[in-house]
Structure 1
Amino acid sequence: MRTRHPADEDLILGRALETAWQHLTGTPPAGWSTAEPVNLPWNTRQLTDLARSRAPRPTWLVAVGHPDHPAIATVRIARTPAGVEEDITLTAGYRKDDTPPLQIIEPLAAALTAEHDLTTMLASLRAARGDLTIPPHFETPAVPISFTLGSAAVGEVGLAHALRPPLSLPPTRLGPSAESALHYPLGDGTHPQAWNVLQQLTEHLRRAAAADRR
């Protein structure tokens, strides 16, 4: 997922990641660092101070979860002409007898849109080890389940165009009608054809952006 914030002195980074972590695992991150092994307790103020001290250079960091709720994330923070951007990859693990909480993704997208300046979010699912360790052999790739376009990005594409993708299911509008984000369902994570659906969607959205640049 990506967020884009106005660059002001009251900005606290890491809260979008914290919100996603809470939704997916029920707890906040346990720790963070700029390299592994992770050795600092989770603290959004400290990571914000680090990113601010390094600006305009980008900052990369890693966060980990509690042992009973395996999760790991990487975050790249960068100062851009548009503001302060966070590029976040979060992976949560679930035991074999657990059902991944796919129903949480749309409420999470709504919360990130309303509270944390979400730009885009791609959610995907794959079969792998619940403890997030990687075996020394090929594993099946992830399959997308949804894509969310934040309200600012919808404004750049154009609401009318973004509401009419070449998909079988229409997007769900999130937030006030004047500043809607759009949440596009792509599947349940079991059919690799969802990658083709995602490609069709992104090409549809890019056509509008390309037309605006002409």
Structure 2
Amino acid sequence: MRLINAFLYSFVVSFSPIETLFILPLLIVLLHEKEFVWGIFKKLIVLNFFIIVLVVFVLFQDPLQAIELFMRSNLILLFNIALFYQSKGYDIARGLDRLGFAPKIVSVTYFALSLIDALMRDFKETQKSLKARGFRANTSLFSYQTYGNIFGMIFIKAIKKSHDRELTMQARGFKDRIFFLTSNQLEPFEKILLLSIVGVLGKVIYELLG
């Protein structure tokens, strides 16, 4: 449901005239994630460096459009960062399952995320090992060779792990479907958020038709 909320809000903010009501769903999400507000805004500030560069280019052509671009981008970014701040990668697979996607798509997504997670852990452990041995990254040929070897090793590990995982699932009688432990029932927060977004969308449509 969070995927639907994110899509609807992003769609409304992107293609509708700017409304003060756009803040309502945003406030609901921020209130729900009030313990992590500082972390959410820190991420938003980092992403704004890229937005500001884009806005500066537009600013010389159309100042009003630049301001509008800045506002829309920040509304969408802040909403999505707050909405998915506590989510893990596996929530994507769970969301696809809730939305009724084909079991194979859900399974492929889940195992891809699982493999990426495992490889990221391997990469971080390798970085710690290099740091413990006194390795310092620079522009020398040795550094390039070292990182080349690391990425080559990770690539080989990825192939081996995916093959091992395939054999493991076959041995367990896997039939292309993953059953999640979490319930498919909507949280009250998700229902309230969806209603607020639908309300904003309804107002926008009413004004456009009126």
Question: Under TM normalisation by the shorter chain, which class is it?
Answer: under 0.3
Asked which structure has the greater CA Rg, the reply is 2
Select the structure with the greater relative contact order (CA < 8 A; seq sep ≥ 6).
2
**Structure with the larger helix share:** 2
TM-score (norm: length of structure 2): 0.24
TM-score (norm: length of structure 1): 0.23
**Structure with the larger strand share:** 1
